[in-house]
Amino acid sequence: MTARPALESTTLASEFPPGLKDFNFKVLWEFQLLGINFEITKLTVLLWVSVLALVVFFSLAVRNQKMVPGRLQFAGESAYGFVRDGMAKPMMGEEGVRFAPYLTTLFCFIIVSNWWAIIPVVQIPTTAKISLPVVLALISYVLFNWVGIRKHGVKKYFGGIFWPAGAPWWILWLLTPIEIISTLIARPVTLAVRLFANMFAGHMLLLVFTFGGVALLNSDNFVNKTFSIFSFGMAIVMTIFEFMVQIIQAYVFTILTASYLQGALAEEH
């Protein structure tokens, strides 16, 4: 414990090593309902703002539809078309068109939630707390299991998971636990954690570079002040990188959901 005091003596910024405290926001309003504690924070507000924004955007996009689309209609339809023809159809074939609306909703919602990370002033993605990814992953989990059960029936669907088709009997002691864990446990957990961890790490990365820049700028050392330029520069580069990561994560979440749905719909799992 010698490095920390030395750093603190040269930096004036108290918030420099960013940590978990940066993910806890001031509680704007708190109430109890059925013994559950509800907290309204900046993230809750942002969550509803993103819902509202999407509803308004898509409502305007389908209002006054034309064969030759206007700019807004085109934007809405290209989002739908991207998911429909770029994910649902390649993964699930013609059957996938049925799921295209849900997948589009999912994709757009995740992308907007992620974008809060780099929108100036806001700069905190609602997906950087695990609750929202868990909700989305659970819905995907329930959806693909439900679809599979409805198509094959409970016995055949779970039978397909427990006894993978084409596997010899003597390997089942190894294969069945793996299959159960990977399909029924790992899938939702990885879905949620992947999205959360990417956004969390991205937000942390941006905090490190911006707070680090501020800390360096406020230090009494001239060399440190000079290096703050690099820190801010890296923050800008990372913002662009994060923009890419946010889109990729939304894409990955949606395409994994589509792939799980396809697995549930396939004849043998």
Partner 1 sequence: MVTAYATQLATVPVLRAQEEEEVPVFPVVGELIIGTLAFAVLCFILLKFVFPKMEQMYQQRVAAIEGGLAKAEAAQNEANALLEQYRMQLAEARTEASQIRDEAREEGNRILEEMRTSAREESERIVARGAEQLAVERQQLVTELRGDVGRLAVELASKVVGESLADEARRAGTVDRFLAELDGLDTAGASR
Partner 2 sequence: MTELAEINGSLSAIGYGLAAIGPGVGVGMVFAAYIKSSARQPASAKMNLPYLFLGMALIEALALFGLAMGFAYT
Tell me if 44 contacts partner 2 by CB under 8 A: no
* Residue 180 burial (CB count, 10 A): 14
Minimum gap (Å) between residue 47 Cβ and partner 2: 21
Q: Do 264 and 147 form a contact (C-beta atoms < 8 A)?
A: yes
| Residue length of the chain | 269
Number of helices (H), then strands (E), belonging to the chain: the values are 10, 2
255 forms part of the interface with partner 2 (CB under 8 A): yes
Torsion angle, CA of 259/260/266/267, rounded to 10 degrees? 150
Q: Which residue has the tokens 């029924």?
A: 184
Q: How far is the CB of 217 from partner 2 (least distance, A)?
A: 24
CA-atom Rg of the chain in angstroms: 23
- State yes or no: residue 99 binds partner 2 (CB under 8 A): no
Does position 250 interact with partner 2 (CB under 8 A)? The reply is: no
200 is a site residue for partner 2 (CB under 8 A): yes
CB-CB contact of 92 with 266 (8 Å): no
Per CB under 8 A, contacts with partner 2 among 13-32 are 20
Residues that bind partner 1 (CB under 8 A): 20-21, 23-24, 36-39, 43-44, 47-48, 51, 54-55, 58-59, 61-62, 65, 67, 76-77, 80-81, 84, 97, 100-102, 104-105, 109, 128-132, 134-136, 139, 196, 200
Interacting residues with partner 2 (CB under 8 A)? 1-3, 20, 87, 90-91, 190, 193-194, 196-198, 200-201, 248, 251-252, 255-256, 259
